[in-house]
Structure formats: C-alpha cells, structure tokens
Structure 1
Amino acid sequence: MALIQWYPGHISKAERQLKEQLTKVDVVLEVRDARIPLASHHPQVKEWIGEKPRILVLNREDMISDSLRKEWYEWFKSQGETPFFTNAKDGKGVKAINKASQSAGVAVNERRHKRGMLPRPVRAVVIGFPNVGKSALINRLLNRKVVASARKAGVTRQLQWVRISDSIELLDAPGIIPLKLENQDDALKLAICEDIGDAAYNNQEVAQNFVDLLVNLGTENVLLDRYGLDALDMTGEEFIIKLAEIKYNNDRERVARQLLQDFRKGYLGAISLEYPPVNH
C-alpha cells in the first residue's frame, strides 16, 4: 500500500495544457525545492522540453545551510548543470535568473533576425511541482503581484502569459506532478515539504517517516533542541507517541501536524532532507 496517493484527473489535464504551451516557449525555468533537489525533479521534464534551454532554479535556499548549498552547487556542476539558488520570498537570486533567461533567449532573436523577422520578447515558462515557489518567483521577476501565490498547493489553475519587460514574457504553468511517482521515498519527501499538491496522506505516517529520516541523516538533534525529546533510540512512531504523551494530551495527530508545520516554516532550522550523492 503506497503511503502517498494523488488524483490523476487534475494531473493529466495540467500536463496536456503544459505540453501544448511548451511548443511556444523558448526557455524553461525548472524550479525545485533546495531541501530536496532530487526528489523535486519531475522525471518527464527533459523529455517534454527536448533541446530547449533549461535554467535550473533551486528555491528556498534560505532553508538549507550555506555549506550544503556549496556542495549541491559543486555536485550539479559535476553533472554538467549550473544551478541558480533563490529565495523567491525575499527576492534573493532573482536578478540572476532574469539575466540567464534573457541570454538563453538571445539565440531566438538571432534566428529571427537572419530570417528578416523583427525581434520579439523571449518566451519563458516556469515549471515544477506544486508549492515549490513558482508563483513567488514569477511575482519577484515581475516586481509586482500578478500571480496568486498561496500556501495551499495547486492554486495556479489557468495558464497565463505575463510580460516581465520588453524582452521577456513568462508563462505561469500549474504545478505538475508525475502521474505515477514510482519512488515512495521521493513521494514522502515531497509530502514532508508540502510540495505535492492535492495528495492524500496520513499526517501521522508522514511525520513518523520524517523523524526516521532525520535519524538516518544524523540530524535528529534538531528535534531534541525543539521538543526536548531525543529521537535517537526510538522509531518515528515511538517518538510521536512519547511526545504526544508529554506535551499534547496524547493527541498524536496534533503532534504530527505540529512537527510537519515546524519543519515547513523553518522553525527547526536549516535542514535538508537530501544530500548530494557520492559518486563512487
């Protein structure tokens, strides 16, 4: 039984719309969550965009440590990619994205010029899982609030073109989730980070797995600092039961929600749920 389930109906509609629009796009901005840069990569992006230039944006850089950001940067470079780190909420890193989009689109107008056509704005699209910060990034690129940005994943519904400047037009696409996510570990990380849209999952199971994951990564001390309870010698389930006993009148659901909320809002500090793979 899969822990995380979602609704294919919404997804196939969003995918269909996006594929239609991608034919009109010159450059693709793929936004991922810096806490889970691998799990928040949509497996079909490469196949959809083909040869089009793609700019990799790792958002929420404020939620991971500086040293880890450097490690991810080096790792992606070793894979032949240059990641751009942003914090779309406060606008950090957004100017560089704007520049990169413009230079990626230069070739488009060079081709038009050769054919005797007038230049036109570069068309960019922002894609990624629900809730990774796409709308916040677009609003920052525009310097004004045009796109509804909300904590509730899946707020973006209609595809719309917005003009950033004379040189760039941007398509805001709904968050896209693969129809099947084969890897439940990835699905779980997406659920913990709330990057998954309208998915059905049990908060207590996700919170238990979150505790187990922190222990496996060796960062469980953040739980001790925040809640005064050491998770090291317990399972995630035992941790939730014990914390509910001590602090929340045995209300495990409340503990689970609190834990997830504290992580999502950054109250546990700068913690990542993934580290760069070691290339052996």
Structure 2
Amino acid sequence: MSDDYDKVALKQDLNLFLNSIDSNDFRTGNIIGNRIMSNAYLFEKQNYAIMGYFLKQICIDALSLKNRSDPDSLSPITSALKTFVKDKIFIQLDTQENLHELWKDYNNTVTKTRNSFLPPKEKELYKVNPQFTNKAFKKIISLLLENRDSLKYPTNNFFKGMLNEMNRIGKIYGTSIKDQHVLAIITMLDRVDEYVGLTVIDYEDFESRIEKEILPLVNSFEEVAINKNLDENLVNKFLWKLISIWRFNFIKFMEVKRAGVPQIQVQEEIKKPVKKQLVEEIAKSLEDEIGGK
C-alpha cells in the first residue's frame, strides 16, 4: 500500500504541481502541498510531509506576489520551483537521500527568489546577511520562551507576530538552513495553535487546551532549539509531529472559519469573570467608604 503511494500517487501529485505552476496557479500548488502532507500523515512518511511543507510555503509566498502590477516578479519563483521539483524532489523520491540535502536545496530556492519580494531600492541597498537574521531569530525565540504564558491569553497572536517579524527579516537579509528550521517549526506551531483558538468552547476550555496541547509543544521547541542547538534529526522529528497534529486536526474539524461561533463564545465568556471582578471591587470600595464614615 505504501509503495503504491510512493511510486504512483505522490508522483501524480508532483506532476500536477508542475502543471499548476507552469500557469502561475500557485493556489492549486498550495493545495497540492496540503495534499502531500495529508497523504504523508496517512502513510506515515516523514520526508514527504516535510517536502509538502516546502512546496506549500513557496506557493504561499508566490501568491503574495500575484497582486503586484509587475508580472515579471513571478518568473524567478516559477523557475526556481520547477528546478526544485524536477532536479531535487524527484531525485529524493528515487534515492531516499538524507533530508539535509533537501533542506539545503529548499533554502537555496528561497534565497534565489529573495529579490522578487524586495522593491527596487531595497534590492540595491540590502545585501544578504544571514548572520543578522540568525541573531534576530534568537531574540524572537527568547521572547516566546520568556513569555510563553501569554499564549493562554485568548486574543494573543504570538506565533503570527513572530512569523511576521521572521518573514520580514528573512526576506530582507536571507536565511541559513537553521533559520529555515526555526521558521518551519514556528509556522507549524501557529497552525496547530490556530485550531485550538478556533475550536474552544469557552475561556476555561481555551486556557486548559493551551496548557495541555500548546505549552508542551513550546517546551519541546525549547529543547530542540536551545538545548540541542537545532539538531536536524530532532528538527525533522518535531516538525513531522507538528504536521501530523495539524493534519489530524483538519480531519477532525476541517477548515474552521476565523469568525466562527467558538471564537465569539470565548470573547463573551471572558467578559463574565471581568464583570464579576469589577462588581466585587466596586462593592468592596463602597464597603470601605461606608466603614470609614
């Protein structure tokens, strides 16, 4: 059964992916990335799951460029993606080589397309400087680890805020493979966290699920990123775990709308303890005032 997936279904997915990007249909490319990750989860294929992540992320970046007036900005991405899939990923299918080579090729592909995201003046002024990126990423990681309890606040966007800064810095100054490791983990942590935020019943449920489902993953991230210095084998295993959780959540909940009822219920539920606290404080204040007369 697994061989059928390796030799037939996955290659069909990749061929459809190539056909899609030939016409700059990066939306379908993004869907194929999801499909590869889902199938990898079902067939327990770590390497293919990470491969699907690579394809999805490049397509997400490409989609952000489609609304620009200059269509030429897509050409480097289309070209780099074709090379990545034809010359790197299909070789990976045939040889099962170590994932390190694929990580290296992915980072090289992202680096080649870096200029597509920069305005003309920034292309001239900003030079590739992954050392700066690495130092900035370490600081951003420390903000998460020092403030992880903030994740229990229902309206937080901690992971998205991290990704906003990391993607900005990475696109301006470039990245190393280890930087891509961090970006991948935070991206998948955000996707897992998003399912919690959009499927909770009330405030107490939110806090409980963050403590049970998200904070242990943040602790694991700390172990991999800090204590083990982003050992690539551990990164791959942890990323595979996050992708598996995310795809299982999709099976359970499918696409949950951001404006759905659960999120509104959380916000309404938050008001209750706040209102109760205010009433108690006012009552105590009145008692103190009366007692003082």
User: What TM-score, normalized by structure 2, do the two folds share?
Assistant: 0.26
Between structures 1 and 2, the one with greater strand share: 1
Which entry has the higher C-alpha Rg, 1 or 2? Answer: 2
User: What TM-score, normalized by structure 1, do the two folds share?
Assistant: 0.27
